[in-house]
């Protein structure tokens, strides 16, 4: 990772300049401090309680749009690596066609450049599996709404490193030790710092910095920035 330069204030950490180095933070701070996980858990439950009613109404509209747009279930469940490397079922609104696996395999076979993109990021900028409604949901990140259920269950936090699949663990290198000490988040520092427009190494750097630098102001700043990112849709596909 790159050498890290100072950032003056906690709120500034929530919106680092693209490519800018992050300030060094001692190991025994942030979410590594005793008791901080209980504070985050209380804030998570409070936020879900406040957001659940409007999210439920919006979810009904999204579910209807999905059913009208393409055949298949409304929800999609996928196994991710959580805290302490424990697997959990991540919930999303379905954004892909039913035969997504076969379609991806065929697309990567026919397009070597996409195969390389997939190997690097586990994402495709122009994914042939994504439905019309799915593109809108991904652009606005509304496909993530069902993860409020993951937060209630204790699998996730409202803010944290985005959950990864087990195949991505080697990409984190030594940084996975920090990732595995916290709950993954519905949103996070990577989400508001360029998301898929950044290199994977930057994602790892941001996640590790978040764990070490955590404070309540940082989470609040990330949540505010998430609203702006959802409206702009930058870096989401």
Mean per-residue pLDDT over the chain, rounded = 84
Minimum mean pLDDT among 52-61, 81-90, 198-207: which range?
Answer: 198-207
Q: What would the mean pLDDT of 118-147 be, rounded to a whole number?
A: 86
Above pLDDT 90, what percent of the chain?
57
Start-to-end Cα distance in the chain: 26
Burial of 4 (0-12, 13-18, 19+ CB in 10 A): middle
Question: Given a cut of 80, is residue 130 above it in pLDDT?
Answer: yes
148: confidence class by pLDDT, cuts 50, 70, 90: very high
21: confidence class by pLDDT, cuts 50, 70, 90: low
């Amino acid at each position: 990772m790159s050498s890290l330069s100072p950032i003056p204030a906690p709120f500034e950490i929530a919106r680092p300049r693209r490519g800018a180095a992050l300030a060094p933070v001692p190991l025994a701070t942030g979410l590594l401090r005793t008791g901080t996980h209980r504070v985050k858990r209380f804030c998570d439950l409070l936020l879900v309680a406040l957001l659940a009613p409007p999210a439920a109404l919006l979810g009904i509209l999204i579910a209807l749009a999905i059913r009208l747009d393409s055949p298949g279930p409304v929800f999609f469940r996928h196994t991710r690596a959580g805290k302490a490397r424990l697997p959990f079922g991540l919930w999303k609104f379905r954004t892909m066609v039913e035969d997504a696996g076969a379609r991806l395999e065929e697309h990567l076979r026919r397009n070597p450049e996409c195969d390389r993109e997939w190997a690097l990021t586990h994402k495709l900028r122009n994914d042939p599996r994504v439905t019309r409604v799915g593109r809108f949901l991904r652009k606005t990140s509304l496909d993530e709404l069902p993860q409020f259920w993951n937060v209630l269950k204790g699998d996730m936090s409202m803010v944290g490193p985005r959950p990864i699949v087990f195949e991505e663990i080697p990409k984190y290198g030594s940084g996975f030790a920090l990732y595995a000490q916290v709950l993954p988040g519905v949103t996070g520092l990577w989400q508001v710092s360029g998301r898929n427009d950044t290199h994977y190494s930057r994602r790892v750097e941001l996640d590790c910095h978040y764990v070490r630098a955590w404070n309540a102001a940082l989470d609040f700043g990330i949540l505010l920035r998430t609203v702006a990112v959802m409206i702009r849709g930058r870096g989401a596909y």
